[in-house]
Amino acid sequence: MRLGVSGAVVDGAWCPGDVEVADGRVAAVGLPAARGGTIAVPGLVDLLCHGYAGVDLASAAVEDVATVRAAAARDGTTALCPALLTDDPARTAAALARLDAARASATPGARLLGAHLEGPFLAAARLGTHPPEHRRDPDPDLLARLLDAGRVDVVTLAPELPGAGALVDLLRARGVLVAAGHSDADAAAAHAAVDRGVRAVTHLYNAMSGLGHRAPGLAAVALTRPEVTPTLIADGHHVAPEMLRLAAAAAPGRWALVTDATAATGMPDGPFRLAGLPVTLADGAVRNAAGGLAGAAAPLVRGVRTAVAAGVGLVEAVGAATTVPARLLGRRHVGRLAPGVAADLVLLDDALSVTRVLVEGRGMDQRDTTE
């Protein structure tokens, strides 16, 4: 099956020509190009998704997770890490178990990767919407219990907290990606965390120490340490275009886009829940009762468009939503478009809007695509 595209982003480079898919895999690239501006890119990979299409993953029943997977795939995200906000540990453990059950089901849509625990080991001064009553100081026993409750691929923590180093060691030993976030770390603490094994920063600039020219914090270290992948929310509300361009210029080929999507994603304005907390979607932004940003409501493809509109090159922006997050997780079977790889593909028009999505070569219905 030919896709009828004029070109594709193939393993991080532009490749003119059409793409052929056979038996669920990419069979060939660089074939005689079709007319028109439609292009093919790898399926997008989201490292931070709290919900979608009215479903909050912290409380979702096993069967409701299928709604998230289908809706995300229609928007071009073909693999995602379900994210869990700081919560009562028993509820977090129960959510992890439900996600494991959902992952085992043969549900069409986005691949369900391991969970992203965003908390509870966060800095009290940088909690944002995370409920302070459920924040915890570093506790290896609690962390081990959560890791045993279900598959976890990413944990975000504040590395400057006393005892956080032991958590980093435990996570690395268990093969879990360690991200720094919701952190008040100064430069020395941030550098020490990277030296110890922190390899990502969760939603750069937001809920963290920043870019002070005499007192740099976590954001500055993330942009200057080549081992670190800074992730950004490019929904038009969390990060200004200049700061997005700064990240792309300082960390070319190693920054990633995430959504921080909530149940409000793809839904009309109104009230929603985020791990049980009341939030409201209005004018494209999700806010808590105090008026602060509380997650987001834009699909990952909008982050690609936002980056391009900010002046980032198309191939770089696509990579930030595909190959970079996949590489960070060590997953070579997602986020790639190349001969022999599973055909998780997204077709984009001239406006970088999704026109068609394939997951393992099978088409996803685009009629309800949210942009």
Q: Looking at the annotation, which residues are catalytic?
A: 260
Q: Which two tokens stand for residue 346?
A: 């997204």
Evaluate whether 287 touches 293 at the Cβ level (below 8 Å).
yes
Evaluate whether 255 touches 244 at the Cβ level (below 8 Å).
no
C-alpha pair distances (Å), 146 with each of 60, 96, 128, 320: 18, 8, 22, 29
The span from the CA of 148 to the CA of 150, in Å, is 6
The span from the CA of 99 to the CA of 105, in Å, is 10
The span from the CA of 301 to the CA of 202, in Å, is 19
Evaluate whether 50 touches 261 at the Cβ level (below 8 Å).
yes
The span from the CA of 330 to the CA of 327, in Å, is 5
Evaluate whether 25 touches 53 at the Cβ level (below 8 Å).
no
| 55-56 and 51-52 strand pairing | antiparallel
| 7-10 and 115-118 strand pairing | unpaired
Torsional sign, CA 205, 207, 212, 215? negative
C-alpha pair distances (Å), 162 with each of 86, 132, 155, 353: 19, 18, 17, 46
Nearest to 30 by CA among 338, 347, 353: 338
DSSP state of 330: T
**Helix and strand element counts for the chain (H, E):** 10, 22
